[in-house]
Structure 1
Amino acid sequence: MNQYRPLPLTFERLWQFSLQHYGVREIKEACLVLQNRYKGKVNLVLLLKWLDEHELSLTEEQWLQLDNAIERTEPLLQQFRDYRRKVKPHLPDTLYRESLQFELQLERQQQADLVHCINLLDLSPRTGQPMTHVYCQKIGAQRLSQIFYSAEK
């Protein structure tokens, strides 16, 4: 079988990778558009970016497994994010910063869930489109896929 696994992905490795890529203005803007306009999952797309850089791909079943891995945190994250945006004008700065920190903790938990899941999968070398491109197509955000791809190292 032509399957292999890169060094095990750790939470810290994915978190640092995500911070590095999210720090690129174009990636950050694309992630926010993906999240706000297309209801895309930013942590998932950052994991897919990691897969793209390692030239790995997912089967349809593996996509479902990753979706299931964040099934418990995604609705909570969406609800909290929406709530934080609504109350922002009414919160003192310190309280707003605390709410951002809580949201960041939810993001970290979601990434930990993704890392746990991805390490259970037998990944295959990529033979088709980058995973970020496939994801953007799945959610109707094709125009964003070029941003993720062009930012690839």
Structure 2
Amino acid sequence: MLPSSNIPLNEHQLASITQEAFWCFSLSHYKKDGVKQAALALQDTYFGNVNLALLLIWLNSLNLSFSVSDLPLLEAALHKSDTLLHSYRKLRKQIKSTQDQTLYQEALRFELQIEKQQQSDLITALIRIPLVIKTDNNQISLLTHYCRSLQADALLPALESNQHNNTE
């Protein structure tokens, strides 16, 4: 449960939570040192969802939060695309071994489209959750809760990649 001192978002603030803004943040954040490696470890070793982790990092960077009890609503939004994404990712890795770069690049582009759709599904689910502006900086982040649920705490520093000190 969130502390009562958190402030609910107004309509204007909620309108800024868009799939396009999330996608742009994700592309930028994923390029930071160590993030890609940590995200792949989250995905391949701990069976976590990179897009969900990126969403939680993005919300934290915006100083936004929601009740940890609503996290399963976001996880449920992933079910539709997760099976397709996992199957396609496996196929793309098989294509990579053929060394057909053109086919591999096409497969990668298509996989990114699935990723983008998954982010859209997350935003659709997110806007149904009561978001608040965090006023307690000592509050455990949603990313920390998520990583702990996967026993992937060790990835937190690399996933966050000094987001609070970033001025990009």
TM-score (norm 2): 0.83
Matched, 1:144 2:155: yes
Q: Can you list the C-alpha shifts for 1:105-151, whole angstroms capped at 9, x where unaligned?
A: 00000001111111121113444211211111111101011223452
Q: Can you list the C-alpha shifts for 1:7-54, whole angstroms capped at 9, x where unaligned?
A: 421111000000110010211111111111111101000000011112
1:118 corresponding residue in structure 2: 126
1:98 corresponding residue in structure 2: 106
1:4 corresponding residue in structure 2: 8
Q: Identity, % of aligned pairs?
A: 36
Q: Can you list the C-alpha shifts for 1:54-85, whole angstroms capped at 9, x where unaligned?
A: 22323244111101111100111111112211
SS across alignment from 2:157: helix
Q: Contact 1:27/1:147 (CA < 8 Å) preserved in 2? A: yes
Q: Contact 1:45/1:135 (CA < 8 Å) preserved in 2? A: yes
| Segment of structure 1 superposing worse, 39-48 or 6-15 | 6-15
1:13 corresponding residue in structure 2: 21
Q: Contact 2:32/2:161 (CA < 8 Å) preserved in 1? A: no
Q: How does 1:46-57 map to 2 (within 5 A)?
A: 46-57=54-65
Give ranges in structure 1 of 5+ residues lacking alignment.
none
Q: Contact 1:130/1:149 (CA < 8 Å) preserved in 2? A: no
Whole-angstrom distance in 1 between the partners of 2:155 and 2:133: 23
Alpha-carbon RMSD across the aligned residues, in angstroms, is 1.7
Whole-angstrom distance in 2 between the partners of 1:58 and 1:135: 13
Kindly state the Cα deviation for residue 91 of structure 1 after the two structures are TM-superposed: 4.9
Which of the numbers 91, 96, 115 marks the counterpart of 1:83? 91
| Segment of structure 1 superposing worse, 11-20 or 25-34 | 25-34
Whole-angstrom distance in 2 between the partners of 1:150 and 1:88: 29
Q: Contact 2:30/2:36 (CA < 8 Å) preserved in 1? A: yes
